[in-house]
Structure 1
């Protein structure tokens, strides 16, 4: 059965199309102009084509096209919902719910599509060149797809998800260079999750504590002086750690 491989391919295409190929401008304009929703869905479909092409399986390409159509349906529904109250100030907590519900629906669609494909097609032939590469190197194609997907997930998607969840708990920052600090924090979070992911894959669970300790020492002074920041920092660290654990065990 090829369920995991099919699901990973669809999830990889989703991550690339919905996070890495979607610019901030596109994400912002999607809430105001329907044409940007359509542009995003075309880019999303292109991500599926790029990911699925090495498989050279037309049935899977058609499933990718169906995934793009369903993605457009969900995004159009989100656009219609946000347009109903676009003149009102959007509550931060509602923004959380919209993002999390949107991603949950997208991933659920991919899960059921992978299940349906596995039951009715149950075939995932690779191109001769890729088959030769895996055969010579002794690598597992499932392991390769899993690692690529996991590495892409722990960067931009997890950073965005954590920022959406923490947005209502974020303390006021009066520093002039807060944008640079924010970007540095995201990079630190990505590196932190990468190290934890490697430790988990090696079975070195105790070593994860060293990463969290080093991060806490760097922020110790601010944690002690600002209780609000301490809670914000702890919540962000816990969410980051949980995300790595879930990604490592699921993928």
Structure 2
């Protein structure tokens, strides 16, 4: 319980300091001036103060009540946050750098939580989870329904419909919607919530009905139907295979 409490408290502190207590002007200053940005040092200080308060309260209640542990952990959080944010400021502004940035911060927090609480059980649990064949089959299923399935569905549509494409839509929007759709469907299947699959298809049909009715284009209707049915078929097959291999 002590480890979980420290971990979730530090994560909440990180979220507050990184997203709620950091004005956009600080972010812009860091991205434009990098290590010369004064606001970056304010941001790191906010993280340091927040973390120090959390760690001090936890150390006094559950830890060894050593001020040195508080100082070391706070310093690690501040220095690592500074280094990670500087690296991000030189990267391209996109989803991948954002995710890597947040994962790096969370990894530091997990490491410090394990060290402060001396919780080796967490590492053992994490190792057993990573080496669990059932978990790996689930990961494999999600990997299959993302990019490989998108390639397969695109090839099948090209074969069945020629070079027909839906004009006027956002670039890669259809592929992204399809991926999200398959992720949700696979999640419902693995959780034995097949009603969720039906709800998802019904919701998609409602949103698509207006577009298809307005277009009066039979080829577009057939294209959308083929894409949806292929996506559902692939996800059902992968989901049922994963469930079979797990059990």
User: Greater helix percent: which structure?
Assistant: 2
Question: Larger Rg: 1 or 2?
Answer: 2
TM over 0.5: no
TM-score band, normalised by the shorter chain? 0.3 to 0.5
Structure showing greater relative contact order (alpha-carbon pairs closer than 8 Å, 6 or more residues apart) = 1
Give the TM-score normalised by structure 1.
0.43
Instruction: Return the TM-score normalized by structure 2.
Output: 0.44
